[in-house]
Amino acid sequence: MNVNDLKSKMVSGAIWMTAFRVVERAIGFGSIVVLARVLSPADFGLVAMATAIIAILELLGAFSFDAAIIQSPNAGKEHLNTVWTISVLMNGFNAAALCALALPAAWFYDEARLVPIVYWLAASLLLGGFANVGVVLFQKEMNFSREFVFQTSKKLARVIATLGFALLLGNYWALVFGSITGAAVTVLLSYVMHPFRPHFSLVALKELIHFSKWMYLNNLLLFLNRRSPDLIVGKLNGPHSLGLFSMALEVATTPTMEIVAPINRVVFPGFSRMHADLRQLKDAYLRVASLVALLAIPAGVGIAMVALPLVRLAMGEKWLEAVPLIQLLAIYGTLSALAGNSGMLYLSLGKTRLLATMSAGLVAVLVPGMIIASWKFGAVGAASMFVACSAGILVVDWIVISRVLQMRVTEMVRNVVRPAASAAAMVIALTAFHQWLQGTHELSVLVELSVKILIGALVYVSALTMLWLAAGRPSGAERWLLKQMQTFALRLKKV
């Protein structure tokens, strides 16, 4: 596949994966609106405690073998069979270990209700291990239309099941039974949608371990980064605070993560095929980073600015304590998005050791900092540590990438200047509108949210356009988006 065909595949894939994330989050947001009104923060916190224990056990097999299959041009059936065998064995072991940990987990959190929850989730874990590993080839072969159907279908099944159980039961068991249903549907779909039929084999184990040994360490560190609030906030502040934090993290990072996640899913196989040509790889990375900044910065800043009316409308008054958490974690989501595709770059170059080293540095600061911050200031302190650490890792990440790709840091900084300045204009406009509302003017929550979104979008797009024109229309994400819009307009005319 030549470079132009590869870029075309990446663009097409990005469209499919973005469509998936939009559909997935639309489904997810709709479910959150219903679940937040039916269930309490403590319900979410209780299940988050149980899933934190599962995540710890899953680290035992977190070698990211699927990444090895995607990255290696020589991966074949023996690799797929080995990965599936390990998945079955590890999930079976983890399910048994989870049952054994049910009582200790209840003691740790001082929450007796965890015991039956953990037993049921162990069954879900065991079932999930039998999923067909062949579906990873959708991503390797850049067949993102099939990936879209698979991912969307399993998400929709889980959400429908969870909502049904929530309306029927009205408590935390809805989340548990929804998880089991989702695991069952995922296994079924994986065999329906891909013809590969795995069998037990460990022939390629040594080769896979060689690639993934540093990925294992990195996944361990990522767990401490991402799941530390479940342990720390849950232990120090209780299920109510953890429920607020978990929901705030979901709402705050959805806009930014849903921009980065589909792009990363596409660029990893694309970067992997470019790794031998550093110049092409550098150009592709900068283009992707520019597009991420253009979309993620206004998304993150925007969710922070509309947090109050959004919570009132979608979740209800009992969730108002989550507003300051959403505002802080939205900034964390923005900073994380700007560094999001660097991991795919390191993986495509086989620099798993470097990725693990950077994750270790982040965890060394985040975990002790979060313990202190949660103890002193509760969930708000934990959210503040997320923001501070994500800012630090972004700076370090840019410095490392500049050396890996042999370029100046300023080349990456230029990607964020215009989007950041335009987002600042958006903040000023929305702050002024909010102050105007604080006077004698009153709007319904729905109208207030709609108007704020409209004002934010108009101000951001206008400011970005003016800055781009003032800079002499340089190449970058703005020009690429304009070209895509022109192409789309021409297609509409032909229709």
DSSP letter assigned to residue 341: T
Q: How high is the pLDDT of residue 461? A: 92
Angle at 335 between CA 280 and CA 239, to 5 degrees: 135
| In-domain check, residue 69 | yes
Grouping H, G, I as helix, E, B as strand and the rest as coil, residue 312 is helix
Displacement of CA 367 from its chain's centroid (Å): 20
Tokens at 317, concatenated? 């008054």
Structural domain harbouring 67: 39-226
In a domain, 49, yes or no: yes
Residue 439 burial (CB < 10 Å; 0-12/13-18/19+)?
Answer: exposed
pLDDT of residue 60: 61
pLDDT of residue 65: 67
Coil vs helix vs strand at 360: helix
**Strand intervals (E) in 33-92:** none
In a domain, 63, yes or no: yes
Give the CA diameter of the chain. 73
Structure tokens at 5: 């065909």
In 3D space, the residue among 172, 189, 223 whose CA is nearest the CA of residue 59 turns out to be 223
Structure tokens at 318: 């009992």
pLDDT of residue 286: 83
Do the domain assignments include residue 447?
Answer: no
| Cα–Cα nearest to 187, from 251, 123, 230 | 123
Residue 476 DSSP label = S
Given 3-state DSSP classes, what are the helix, strand and coil percentages for the chain, each rounded to the nearest 5?
A: 85, 0, 15
- Which residue has 């934010």 as its token pair? 456
Do residues 154 and 185 lie in contact, with contact meaning Cβ atoms separated by under 8 Å?
Answer: yes
Report yes or no on 47 lying in a domain.
Answer: yes
pLDDT tens sequence for the chain (495 residues): 545 555 555 555 555 555 555 566 566 666 666 677 777 777 877 887 777 777 777 666 556 667 667 666 676 788 888 888 988 888 888 889 889 988 988 888 888 888 888 899 888 888 988 988 888 877 777 676 777 788 778 888 888 888 888 888 888 888 888 888 888 988 999 899 888 898 888 887 777 776 666 666 666 676 667 777 777 888 888 888 888 888 888 888 877 776 676 676 667 667 766 766 778 888 878 888 888 888 889 999 999 999 998 888 877 788 888 899 999 999 998 988 888 777 777 777 777 777 778 878 888 888 888 889 888 888 889 889 888 988 888 888 888 888 888 888 888 888 889 999 999 999 999 999 888 887 666 778 888 889 999 999 999 999 999 999 898 888 777 877 777 677 666 665 665
Query: What is the model's pLDDT at position 441?
Result: 64
pLDDT of residue 464: 92
The answer to whether position 26 is within a domain reads: no
Q: For 292, left (φ over 0), alpha (ψ -120 to 50), or beta? A: alpha
> Does residue 279 sit within a domain?
no
* b/e code 322-344 from CB counts within 10 Å (16+ = b): bbbbbbbbbbbbbbbbbbbbbbb
* Distances in whole angstroms, Cα of residue 425 to Cα of each of 193, 229, 470, 481: 47, 33, 16, 21
Q: Cα(first)–Cα(last) distance of the chain, in Å?
A: 31
Answer for the pair 335, 262: CB distance below 8 angstroms, yes or no: no
Q: How many independent structural domains does the chain possess?
A: 1
- Residue 202 within a domain: yes
375 Cβ neighbours under 8 A, 6+ residues apart: 236, 381
Amino acid letter, 360: A
How many angstroms separate the CA atoms of 119 and 103, rounded?
10
For residues 426 and 128, what is the distance between their CA atoms, to the nearest angstrom?
A: 44
